[in-house]
Amino acid sequence: MFDKLKKKFSEVFSGHGDKELQEDKPVTEGKTVEQGKIIRRIDLEDTIQETLLESDVSFDATEDIIGQLKTRLGKIKRKVDYSTVQNELKNVIRDVITKNNLNSINLLDVDKKPYVILFLGINGTGKTTTIGKLAFYLKNNGKSVVLSASDTFRAGAIDQINILADRVGVELIKHDFRSDPASVAFDAIDHARARKMDFVLIDSAGRMQTNKNLLDEMKKIKRVAKPDMTLLVLDAMIGQDVIEQATTFSKEINYDGIIVTKLDTDAKGGSIISISAGIKKPILFVGIGQEMEDLIPFDVDWYLNKIFSS
Protein backbone atom coordinates (compact mmCIF):
# COMPACT_ATOMS: atom_id res chain seq x y z
CA MET A 1 0.00 0.00 0.00
CA PHE A 2 1.30 3.46 -1.01
CA ASP A 3 4.75 1.95 -1.58
CA LYS A 4 5.80 4.25 -4.39
CA LEU A 5 5.09 7.47 -2.54
CA LYS A 6 6.79 6.15 0.57
CA LYS A 7 9.85 5.08 -1.40
CA LYS A 8 10.07 8.40 -3.24
CA PHE A 9 9.68 10.48 -0.08
CA SER A 10 12.34 8.42 1.58
CA GLU A 11 14.69 9.00 -1.38
CA VAL A 12 13.96 12.72 -1.27
CA PHE A 13 14.49 13.15 2.44
CA SER A 14 17.09 10.66 3.60
CA GLY A 15 20.67 9.77 2.85
CA HIS A 16 21.97 13.30 2.21
CA GLY A 17 24.95 13.03 4.54
CA ASP A 18 26.48 16.43 5.06
CA LYS A 19 24.82 18.06 2.08
CA GLU A 20 23.58 21.50 2.88
CA LEU A 21 20.25 22.96 1.95
CA GLN A 22 20.58 26.52 0.75
CA GLU A 23 18.04 29.31 0.43
CA ASP A 24 16.95 30.28 -3.07
CA LYS A 25 20.30 31.89 -3.88
CA PRO A 26 22.45 31.17 -6.89
CA VAL A 27 24.74 28.21 -6.45
CA THR A 28 28.12 29.21 -5.03
CA GLU A 29 30.81 29.17 -7.65
CA GLY A 30 32.63 25.89 -7.87
CA LYS A 31 29.81 23.96 -6.20
CA THR A 32 27.31 22.72 -8.74
CA VAL A 33 23.97 21.46 -7.62
CA GLU A 34 24.75 17.94 -8.73
CA GLN A 35 28.30 17.57 -7.51
CA GLY A 36 28.63 19.95 -4.65
CA LYS A 37 27.64 20.02 -1.06
CA ILE A 38 24.87 22.50 -1.68
CA ILE A 39 21.35 21.79 -2.79
CA ARG A 40 19.04 24.68 -3.45
CA ARG A 41 15.76 24.62 -1.60
CA ILE A 42 13.92 25.53 -4.75
CA ASP A 43 15.25 22.37 -6.41
CA LEU A 44 14.10 20.31 -3.46
CA GLU A 45 10.64 21.88 -3.71
CA ASP A 46 10.55 21.01 -7.41
CA THR A 47 11.46 17.41 -6.60
CA ILE A 48 8.65 17.22 -4.04
CA GLN A 49 6.22 18.66 -6.57
CA GLU A 50 7.24 16.05 -9.15
CA THR A 51 6.96 13.29 -6.55
CA LEU A 52 3.42 14.29 -5.64
CA LEU A 53 2.29 14.51 -9.25
CA GLU A 54 3.81 11.14 -10.10
CA SER A 55 2.04 9.61 -7.10
CA ASP A 56 -1.48 10.42 -8.25
CA VAL A 57 -1.88 13.64 -6.30
CA SER A 58 -4.01 15.92 -8.47
CA PHE A 59 -2.49 19.03 -10.02
CA ASP A 60 -4.61 21.39 -7.90
CA ALA A 61 -3.80 19.60 -4.65
CA THR A 62 -0.09 19.57 -5.54
CA GLU A 63 -0.09 23.31 -6.27
CA ASP A 64 -1.85 23.95 -2.99
CA ILE A 65 0.61 21.81 -1.03
CA ILE A 66 3.74 23.32 -2.63
CA GLY A 67 2.39 26.86 -2.17
CA GLN A 68 1.71 26.25 1.53
CA LEU A 69 5.07 24.53 1.98
CA LYS A 70 6.96 27.50 0.51
CA THR A 71 5.08 29.92 2.75
CA ARG A 72 5.84 27.90 5.85
CA LEU A 73 9.51 27.43 5.01
CA GLY A 74 9.81 31.13 4.17
CA LYS A 75 8.71 32.01 7.71
CA ILE A 76 11.42 29.96 9.37
CA LYS A 77 14.27 32.14 10.59
CA ARG A 78 16.82 29.45 11.39
CA LYS A 79 18.55 27.36 8.77
CA VAL A 80 16.22 24.98 7.02
CA ASP A 81 17.39 21.38 6.76
CA TYR A 82 15.92 18.25 5.22
CA SER A 83 14.07 17.11 8.27
CA THR A 84 12.46 20.54 8.68
CA VAL A 85 11.23 20.36 5.08
CA GLN A 86 9.86 16.87 5.69
CA ASN A 87 8.09 17.90 8.89
CA GLU A 88 6.56 20.95 7.28
CA LEU A 89 5.44 18.90 4.28
CA LYS A 90 3.81 16.43 6.66
CA ASN A 91 2.04 19.29 8.44
CA VAL A 92 0.80 20.77 5.18
CA ILE A 93 -0.56 17.42 3.99
CA ARG A 94 -2.17 16.87 7.40
CA ASP A 95 -3.85 20.29 7.17
CA VAL A 96 -5.12 19.70 3.64
CA ILE A 97 -6.70 16.40 4.66
CA THR A 98 -7.97 17.54 8.07
CA LYS A 99 -9.59 20.67 6.68
CA ASN A 100 -11.88 18.50 4.60
CA ASN A 101 -12.59 15.98 7.34
CA LEU A 102 -13.96 18.39 9.91
CA ASN A 103 -17.54 17.24 9.50
CA SER A 104 -16.64 13.62 10.02
CA ILE A 105 -18.88 11.71 12.39
CA ASN A 106 -17.96 8.86 14.69
CA LEU A 107 -20.69 6.31 14.02
CA LEU A 108 -20.17 4.74 17.43
CA ASP A 109 -21.29 8.01 19.05
CA VAL A 110 -24.55 8.66 17.19
CA ASP A 111 -27.69 8.84 19.31
CA LYS A 112 -30.49 8.30 16.83
CA LYS A 113 -31.97 4.79 16.58
CA PRO A 114 -32.06 3.33 14.07
CA TYR A 115 -29.34 5.32 12.34
CA VAL A 116 -29.90 4.78 8.62
CA ILE A 117 -27.02 4.80 6.15
CA LEU A 118 -27.46 4.61 2.39
CA PHE A 119 -24.54 3.53 0.20
CA LEU A 120 -24.15 4.63 -3.37
CA GLY A 121 -21.55 4.51 -6.08
CA ILE A 122 -20.89 3.15 -9.54
CA ASN A 123 -20.62 -0.54 -10.35
CA GLY A 124 -18.02 -2.56 -8.58
CA THR A 125 -16.61 0.13 -6.31
CA GLY A 126 -17.17 -2.13 -3.30
CA LYS A 127 -20.53 -1.03 -1.84
CA THR A 128 -21.85 -4.46 -0.91
CA THR A 129 -18.61 -5.81 0.58
CA THR A 130 -18.14 -2.53 2.45
CA ILE A 131 -21.61 -2.90 3.97
CA GLY A 132 -20.61 -6.39 5.16
CA LYS A 133 -17.39 -5.01 6.64
CA LEU A 134 -19.13 -2.06 8.28
CA ALA A 135 -21.76 -4.39 9.79
CA PHE A 136 -18.87 -6.48 11.18
CA TYR A 137 -17.22 -3.35 12.63
CA LEU A 138 -20.44 -2.08 14.20
CA LYS A 139 -21.38 -5.48 15.58
CA ASN A 140 -17.92 -5.87 17.13
CA ASN A 141 -18.50 -2.55 18.83
CA GLY A 142 -21.73 -3.76 20.40
CA LYS A 143 -24.20 -2.34 17.87
CA SER A 144 -27.19 -4.15 16.38
CA VAL A 145 -27.40 -3.94 12.61
CA VAL A 146 -29.90 -4.82 9.90
CA LEU A 147 -28.99 -4.83 6.22
CA SER A 148 -31.36 -3.84 3.42
CA ALA A 149 -30.89 -5.78 0.17
CA SER A 150 -31.86 -2.81 -1.98
CA ASP A 151 -29.79 -3.86 -4.98
CA THR A 152 -32.66 -5.70 -6.62
CA PHE A 153 -31.28 -4.88 -10.05
CA ARG A 154 -28.21 -7.07 -10.47
CA ALA A 155 -28.71 -10.81 -10.59
CA GLY A 156 -26.83 -12.33 -7.69
CA ALA A 157 -26.74 -9.17 -5.60
CA ILE A 158 -29.30 -10.43 -3.08
CA ASP A 159 -27.42 -13.73 -2.66
CA GLN A 160 -24.15 -11.84 -2.22
CA ILE A 161 -25.46 -9.68 0.62
CA ASN A 162 -27.27 -12.66 2.14
CA ILE A 163 -23.97 -14.53 2.39
CA LEU A 164 -22.30 -11.50 3.96
CA ALA A 165 -25.13 -11.05 6.48
CA ASP A 166 -24.83 -14.73 7.48
CA ARG A 167 -21.08 -14.52 7.74
CA VAL A 168 -21.21 -11.46 10.00
CA GLY A 169 -24.26 -12.69 11.91
CA VAL A 170 -26.60 -9.76 11.27
CA GLU A 171 -30.16 -9.67 9.95
CA LEU A 172 -31.07 -8.98 6.35
CA ILE A 173 -34.34 -7.71 4.89
CA LYS A 174 -34.82 -8.78 1.28
CA HIS A 175 -37.54 -8.91 -1.34
CA ASP A 176 -37.56 -10.57 -4.73
CA PHE A 177 -35.19 -9.85 -7.59
CA ARG A 178 -36.43 -6.77 -9.54
CA SER A 179 -38.69 -5.57 -6.75
CA ASP A 180 -38.77 -1.93 -5.64
CA PRO A 181 -35.51 -1.11 -3.78
CA ALA A 182 -37.14 1.74 -1.85
CA SER A 183 -39.75 -0.58 -0.39
CA VAL A 184 -37.03 -3.00 0.80
CA ALA A 185 -35.34 -0.10 2.57
CA PHE A 186 -38.66 0.97 4.07
CA ASP A 187 -39.24 -2.52 5.47
CA ALA A 188 -35.69 -2.75 6.83
CA ILE A 189 -36.11 0.55 8.69
CA ASP A 190 -39.48 -0.58 10.01
CA HIS A 191 -37.94 -3.84 11.19
CA ALA A 192 -35.12 -2.02 12.97
CA ARG A 193 -37.42 0.54 14.54
CA ALA A 194 -39.76 -2.13 15.94
CA ARG A 195 -36.80 -3.93 17.52
CA LYS A 196 -34.96 -0.79 18.65
CA MET A 197 -31.94 -1.71 16.59
CA ASP A 198 -29.02 0.67 16.16
CA PHE A 199 -28.22 0.71 12.43
CA VAL A 200 -29.78 0.07 9.04
CA LEU A 201 -27.31 -0.24 6.16
CA ILE A 202 -28.92 0.08 2.73
CA ASP A 203 -27.19 -1.45 -0.27
CA SER A 204 -27.96 -0.12 -3.74
CA ALA A 205 -27.36 -1.13 -7.33
CA GLY A 206 -24.18 0.25 -8.87
CA ARG A 207 -25.05 2.98 -11.29
CA MET A 208 -23.26 5.15 -13.75
CA GLN A 209 -23.59 8.86 -13.14
CA THR A 210 -25.16 9.06 -16.58
CA ASN A 211 -27.93 6.46 -16.24
CA LYS A 212 -31.04 8.53 -15.65
CA ASN A 213 -33.40 5.69 -14.66
CA LEU A 214 -31.05 4.35 -12.07
CA LEU A 215 -30.38 7.82 -10.72
CA ASP A 216 -34.11 8.47 -10.40
CA GLU A 217 -34.48 5.17 -8.59
CA MET A 218 -31.66 6.24 -6.28
CA LYS A 219 -33.43 9.50 -5.52
CA LYS A 220 -36.57 7.55 -4.72
CA ILE A 221 -34.71 5.34 -2.22
CA LYS A 222 -33.40 8.49 -0.61
CA ARG A 223 -36.84 10.10 -0.47
CA VAL A 224 -38.46 7.04 1.07
CA ALA A 225 -35.69 5.95 3.43
CA LYS A 226 -34.68 9.48 4.52
CA PRO A 227 -31.23 8.24 5.51
CA ASP A 228 -29.37 9.97 8.31
CA MET A 229 -26.24 9.63 6.26
CA THR A 230 -25.53 8.94 2.60
CA LEU A 231 -22.09 7.65 1.74
CA LEU A 232 -20.46 7.57 -1.67
CA VAL A 233 -18.19 4.56 -2.16
CA LEU A 234 -15.14 5.29 -4.33
CA ASP A 235 -12.57 2.86 -5.68
CA ALA A 236 -8.98 4.05 -5.16
CA MET A 237 -7.85 1.87 -8.06
CA ILE A 238 -9.27 4.24 -10.67
CA GLY A 239 -6.91 7.03 -9.65
CA GLN A 240 -7.85 10.64 -10.24
CA ASP A 241 -11.05 9.80 -12.11
CA VAL A 242 -12.68 9.47 -8.69
CA ILE A 243 -12.83 13.23 -8.45
CA GLU A 244 -14.88 13.52 -11.60
CA GLN A 245 -17.07 10.61 -10.51
CA ALA A 246 -17.78 12.23 -7.16
CA THR A 247 -18.45 15.64 -8.68
CA THR A 248 -20.91 14.24 -11.21
CA PHE A 249 -22.68 12.30 -8.47
CA SER A 250 -22.98 15.35 -6.26
CA LYS A 251 -24.78 17.22 -9.03
CA GLU A 252 -27.49 14.57 -8.94
CA ILE A 253 -27.68 13.55 -5.34
CA ASN A 254 -26.37 14.93 -2.11
CA TYR A 255 -24.09 12.76 -0.01
CA ASP A 256 -22.45 13.40 3.31
CA GLY A 257 -19.20 11.51 3.20
CA ILE A 258 -16.99 9.06 1.40
CA ILE A 259 -15.62 5.58 1.81
CA VAL A 260 -12.49 4.88 -0.23
CA THR A 261 -12.06 1.19 -1.02
CA LYS A 262 -9.18 -0.92 -2.32
CA LEU A 263 -6.42 1.21 -0.85
CA ASP A 264 -4.43 -2.01 -0.56
CA THR A 265 -4.17 -1.95 -4.35
CA ASP A 266 -3.13 1.72 -4.44
CA ALA A 267 0.61 1.45 -5.01
CA LYS A 268 1.06 5.11 -5.93
CA GLY A 269 -0.37 6.46 -2.69
CA GLY A 270 -1.69 9.92 -3.49
CA SER A 271 -5.40 9.16 -3.93
CA ILE A 272 -6.29 10.09 -0.35
CA ILE A 273 -4.79 13.57 -0.77
CA SER A 274 -6.53 14.14 -4.12
CA ILE A 275 -9.86 12.92 -2.80
CA SER A 276 -9.70 15.09 0.32
CA ALA A 277 -8.66 18.19 -1.56
CA GLY A 278 -10.87 17.64 -4.60
CA ILE A 279 -14.13 16.42 -3.11
CA LYS A 280 -14.15 18.30 0.17
CA LYS A 281 -16.26 15.75 2.02
CA PRO A 282 -15.06 13.72 4.97
CA ILE A 283 -13.59 10.28 4.38
CA LEU A 284 -15.25 8.15 7.04
CA PHE A 285 -13.73 4.75 6.38
CA VAL A 286 -11.14 3.18 4.12
CA GLY A 287 -11.11 -0.34 2.72
CA ILE A 288 -7.69 -1.93 2.93
CA GLY A 289 -8.23 -5.53 1.85
CA GLN A 290 -10.64 -8.38 1.19
CA GLU A 291 -11.21 -9.56 4.76
CA MET A 292 -14.07 -8.46 7.00
CA GLU A 293 -11.74 -6.61 9.35
CA ASP A 294 -10.23 -4.67 6.43
CA LEU A 295 -12.36 -1.57 6.86
CA ILE A 296 -11.01 1.01 9.26
CA PRO A 297 -12.15 4.46 10.34
CA PHE A 298 -10.03 6.91 8.39
CA ASP A 299 -7.32 8.58 10.42
CA VAL A 300 -4.97 11.15 8.92
CA ASP A 301 -2.00 10.09 11.07
CA TRP A 302 -2.45 6.50 9.98
CA TYR A 303 -2.06 7.76 6.40
CA LEU A 304 0.94 10.00 7.15
CA ASN A 305 2.72 7.15 8.92
CA LYS A 306 2.23 5.04 5.83
CA ILE A 307 3.69 7.58 3.39
CA PHE A 308 6.58 8.92 5.48
CA SER A 309 9.24 6.59 6.84
CA SER A 310 9.89 8.67 9.93
Please tell me the distance from the alpha carbon of residue 173 to that of residue 167, in angstroms, as a whole number: 15
We find the least distance from the C-beta atom of residue 260 to ligand GTP, in angstroms, to be: 9
What single DSSP character describes residue 17?
T
121 binding ligand GTP? (CB under 6 A): yes
Please tell me the distance from the alpha carbon of residue 230 to that of residue 213, in angstroms, as a whole number: 19
Closer by beta carbon to Mg ion, 62 or else 152: 152
Closer by beta carbon to ligand GTP, 12 or else 246: 246
261 binding ligand GTP? (CB under 6 A): yes
Residue 310, class by beta-carbon neighbours within 10 Å (0-12 exposed, 13-18 middle, 19+ buried)? Answer: exposed
Do 277 and 92 form a contact (C-beta atoms < 8 A)?
no
143 binding ligand GTP? (CB under 6 A): no
We find the least distance from the C-beta atom of residue 7 to ligand GTP, in angstroms, to be: 21
Site string for ligand GTP, 84-103 (x = CB under 6 A): --------------------
Closer by beta carbon to ligand GTP, 248 or else 290: 290
Interacting residues with Mg ion (CB under 5 A): 127-128
Do 303 and 236 form a contact (C-beta atoms < 8 A)?
no
Query: Looking at beta carbons, which residue is closest to Mg ion?
Result: 128
Where do the DSSP E strands lie in the chain?
20-22, 38-40, 115-120, 145-148, 171-173, 199-202, 229-235, 257-261, 283-287, 295-297
71 binding ligand GTP? (CB under 6 A): no
Residues of this chain that bind ligand GTP (CB under 6 A): 121, 123-129, 151, 154, 157, 206, 261-262, 264-265, 287-290, 294
